[in-house]
Structure 1
Amino acid sequence: MPDISDHDLPAPVLDRDGTKHKRDLAGACAAHAVHDGFTDLLYALLPVWQAEFGLSYAGLALIRVLYYGTMGALQVPGGRLVERISARAALALATLIAAGGYAVTLAPGGLPVLGLGLAIAGIGSSIQHPRASLLVTQAFGDRARGPLGVYNFAGDLGKAVLPALVALLLPLLSWRPVVGLVAALGVIAAGCLFVLIPGGNAAVPASAASARSGSRTDPDAGRGFALLLAIGALDTAPRMGFLLFLPFMIRDAGGGGGAVGTGLALLFVGGALGKGCCGWLGQRIGVIAGVAATETATALLMLASLLLPLPAMLVLLPLLGIVLNGTSSMLYGTVPELAPRGDTGRAFALFYTGVIVTGGAAPVAYGAIADAAGRLAGVGASALTAASIVPLVLALRPALARPRRP
């Protein structure tokens, strides 16, 4: 989830001991962890579904996009739909819908029912990101940047924990009981969110959360933002492609379900660290040089993972996670600088929606390449996509060099 710029937001009226705002942040973080975990635990289930339903790599990617693409496409309308509902009601409802989607996958009917359930779960998760980030922004006002960083990190913790837990349970249970436990966890989490988040967190119009200072003034700023959006989409694509293939790479290298869970956890933990490390890197050497460095490293480490034995691959995965996920922190921080007409709130919504939709669609293309030419070609295409970002980010330099509006 990208940060929302906190310029020009009103200072919050803090309660005497700060308890309400701490509960707001804790609730938003819990929702983010659960929903990001729900999204990425699918990677642990893909090999099982491939064996049961006889799916190709492209078919697996299509199954994945039913959740991921639905979540991305409905983010903006989902946020608008619940803008008049309290934060605790909206986030509890979102979590119940996501849990209900997983419960639907357990019903008889085979692959169509599985796809329907994942689409319903994606609808629930489409509400979480815009509503939870707005909750944190409302709670902390012009001091929201730090709390939003904590919120972002919580999502990565969910990505690290839930996929690993599912992968560890699959050797002991069939996938249906495991998914049933996931649905039950969602119901429990929804109840906890309703209790944890204080009432009275009414939404505000999106325009009130828009930051209009620091934007570019020239008429070509929209083209700079369009280029940034393309870079963000391409940055997401190889990450999703590599995650599609990673469980199978580990399995073919001799690893079982435990190794798959460990590998996913190592990659996601590295990704969480990358958000902080690469943000610092961007501050030290600049966005252009920082993105060029991380994308080059991503391409090289992806290719190296194909050649290494399992122990060395597992050692490599945290490093790959740092550069694979960390680039996004530098790109998100650039959105306010290139926001068309200074409308930072809308710019973030467009950027995040584009990134999610591309992330859902890209594995379909990589899966089709792997089906036609082998998994080596699929991973190679992912690495080539990462490398292609380098000339694009160099082309972004003129837009970032233009003066900002006072």
Structure 2
Amino acid sequence: MSSAPDLAPSLEAAPSHEARRTLMAAGINHALHDGYTDLIYVLLPVWQSEFGLGYAALALVRSLYNGALAALQMPSSQLAQRLGARAVLVFGTLLSACGYALAGASGGLIGLCAALTLSGAGSSTQHPLASAVIARAFGRSAHGPLGTYNFAGDLGKATVPALVGLLLTLTDWRSALWLIAFLGVLVALAVGRLLPSDRPSRSETPHKSLRTVPLGSNATTGRTGFQLLVGISMLDNAARAAFLLYLPFLLQEKGAALTTVGFALSAVFIGGALGKAVCGWLGHRLGVTRTVLLTETGTAAAILAVISLPLAPVLVLLPVLGLMLNGTSSVLLGTVAELAPGGRVERAFAVFYTFTLGGSALAAPLLYGRLGDVVGPIGATVAAAATALCVVPVMLVLSPRLAPVASLQQS
């Protein structure tokens, strides 16, 4: 997910049919791109066999997509101010589909890496711009539609990897990617048809309420609290990326076929979708600190259980693991605005997402990938559990800085 660019919602709500069309287009687009992002995990064992890659190289291949996605979100927002959000969203979806088509046509590892980087660049457009067009369409009542939009992304994570796993039983991986790329072209056409026309205006300025949040400027919380929050998110996302990197190989060692791997990943992502709602509710009931401590320790314990249990119990456990693995992010996201330095909420979200996604994209090949080559997938997965536990002391340091924010909210 990414923060909305400086394209604020208008005070006047769009007509209801346009708002519904906007949400439908953004939701379909989100499902595709999040599915594109995570289907790579299903293909990692295939590429290992095809190209003779070690775990560090596989992690690098995975990170090329995520790195491009993280690095180009802010430039995509700036491009939309010149060309319009609809044009950039359609172009980004076509570019991402083209990247997967080229990946299927690639003759070697270099071509595959270039194609995945291109596809990640295309996917960088959808998070910031889709959030903006939904906010503009629904105005002050956009919180619910934005939640629907986020849930659509989780549906894509749950369905697209499973679809690719099924296709791999019917055809080779290159043909499977061409079919997935064709699906992307269809989605791009749907987005272009459903989204209302928007004309970018350089004179358009964000609504003041989006920029001015006095909580973030509180001297007690300060910049340090926000930096700690970013650090926690980077650790949480790194643990998730490392675990998902090795999960297909752990499952294969337990006797899982590629189809089972695809459905197992879908089970993780379905649990993650539920985790956003459950952990958001827990955050309100238990508080941010207790919820994060609960989810991170639970994540570490569940990862260790996945290593030690046989295949059948693991498949039952994976949705619960996904709930905790993905649920922490919803609690952290809700705290960004509270700790935004100087009350600059939009910039805080941009920094938060860039460091979170970019950090995990770098950590996967440089740390966990190399570790897997040295100690094997089991040892590297244990390191992922340890990374989740590293959140605990950092969260305890951040906790006192959240108390002044809570008291300000209640006053």
Task: Tell me if TM exceeds 0.5.
Answer: yes
1:200 paired residue number:
198
C-alpha displacement at 1:167, in angstroms? 0.8
Instruction: Trace 1:318-333 onto structure 2 (pairs within 5 A).
Output: 318-333=319-334
Give the 3 Å change call, closer, same or farther, for CA 108–379 of structure 1 in structure 2.
closer
C-alpha displacement at 1:258, in angstroms? 1.6
C-alpha displacement at 1:143, in angstroms? 1.4
Contact 2:155 2:270 in 1 (8 A): yes
Asked whether 1:304 is paired with 2:302, we answer no
2:113 paired residue number:
115
In 2, distance between residues paired with 1:86 and 1:56? Answer: 42
| Residues 175-216 of structure 1, C-alpha deviations (whole Å, 9 max, x = no match) | 110011111111111111101111126475567673423423
In 2, distance between residues paired with 1:44 and 1:206? Answer: 41
Contact 1:47 1:248 in 2 (8 A): yes
Give the 3 Å change call, closer, same or farther, for CA 92–68 of structure 1 in structure 2.
same
1:360 paired residue number:
361
In 1, distance between residues paired with 2:284 and 2:378? Answer: 35
Report the 3-state secondary structure (helix = DSSP H, G, I; strand = E; otherwise coil) of the residue aligned with 1:169. helix
Q: Structure 1 stretches (4+) deviating beyond 6 angstroms? A: none
1:163 paired residue number:
161
With the length of structure 2 as denominator, give the TM-score of the two structures: 0.94
| Residues 307-342 of structure 1, C-alpha deviations (whole Å, 9 max, x = no match) | 111000000000000000000000000001001111
In 1, distance between residues paired with 2:159 and 2:65? Answer: 19
2:275 paired residue number:
274
1:374 paired residue number:
376
**Aligned counterpart in structure 2 of residue 126 of structure 1, from 124, 127, 144:** 124
Contact 1:37 1:161 in 2 (8 A): yes
Give the 3 Å change call, closer, same or farther, for CA 383–201 of structure 1 in structure 2.
farther
| Residues 350-374 of structure 1, C-alpha deviations (whole Å, 9 max, x = no match) | 1111111122222221121111012
2:58 paired residue number:
60
Asked whether 1:218 is paired with 2:222, we answer no
Asked whether 1:186 is paired with 2:188, we answer no
Give the 3 Å change call, closer, same or farther, for CA 20–72 of structure 1 in structure 2.
same
Asked whether 1:232 is paired with 2:230, we answer no
| Residues 44-99 of structure 1, C-alpha deviations (whole Å, 9 max, x = no match) | 11111000000001100000111111110111122212223233212111100101
Report the 3-state secondary structure (helix = DSSP H, G, I; strand = E; otherwise coil) of the residue aligned with 1:12. coil
In 2, distance between residues paired with 1:110 and 1:118? Answer: 13
Contact 1:2 1:332 in 2 (8 A): no
Give the 3 Å change call, closer, same or farther, for CA 129–205 of structure 1 in structure 2.
farther
With the length of structure 1 as denominator, give the TM-score of the two structures: 0.95
Q: Which runs of 5+ in 2 are unaligned?
A: none
The farther-off stretch of 255-264 and 207-216 is: 207-216
Contact 1:209 1:345 in 2 (8 A): no
Report the 3-state secondary structure (helix = DSSP H, G, I; strand = E; otherwise coil) of the residue aligned with 1:291. helix
| Residues 245-273 of structure 1, C-alpha deviations (whole Å, 9 max, x = no match) | 11111111011012111101100000000
In 1, distance between residues paired with 2:81 and 2:337? Answer: 23
In 1, distance between residues paired with 2:209 and 2:96? Answer: 27
Give the 3 Å change call, closer, same or farther, for CA 56–192 of structure 1 in structure 2.
same
1:93 paired residue number:
91
Contact 1:88 1:201 in 2 (8 A): no
1:141 paired residue number:
139
| Residues 105-146 of structure 1, C-alpha deviations (whole Å, 9 max, x = no match) | 233441111011001111101111111111111112221111
1:285 paired residue number:
286
Contact 2:264 2:315 in 1 (8 A): yes
CA RMSD of aligned residues (A): 1.9
In 1, distance between residues paired with 2:280 and 2:362? Answer: 27
Contact 1:2 1:152 in 2 (8 A): no
- Count of residue correspondences: 402
Report the 3-state secondary structure (helix = DSSP H, G, I; strand = E; otherwise coil) of the residue aligned with 2:83. coil
Give the 3 Å change call, closer, same or farther, for CA 282–40 of structure 1 in structure 2.
same
| Residues 227-254 of structure 1, C-alpha deviations (whole Å, 9 max, x = no match) | 1011111110111111111111111101
Give the 3 Å change call, closer, same or farther, for CA 296–2 of structure 1 in structure 2.
farther
The farther-off stretch of 196-205 and 170-179 is: 196-205
Amino acid at match of 2:229: L
Report the 3-state secondary structure (helix = DSSP H, G, I; strand = E; otherwise coil) of the residue aligned with 1:254. coil
Contact 1:3 1:149 in 2 (8 A): no
Contact 2:4 2:129 in 1 (8 A): no
C-alpha displacement at 1:33, in angstroms? 0.7
Report the 3-state secondary structure (helix = DSSP H, G, I; strand = E; otherwise coil) of the residue aligned with 2:124. helix
In 1, distance between residues paired with 2:317 and 2:190? Answer: 37
1:48 paired residue number:
46
C-alpha displacement at 1:9, in angstroms? 6.1
The farther-off stretch of 102-111 and 229-238 is: 102-111
Give the 3 Å change call, closer, same or farther, for CA 87–77 of structure 1 in structure 2.
closer
In 1, distance between residues paired with 2:205 and 2:60? Answer: 35
In 2, distance between residues paired with 1:216 and 1:349? Answer: 15
Contact 2:85 2:129 in 1 (8 A): yes
Give the 3 Å change call, closer, same or farther, for CA 366–209 of structure 1 in structure 2.
farther
Identity fraction in percent: 47
Contact 2:35 2:153 in 1 (8 A): yes
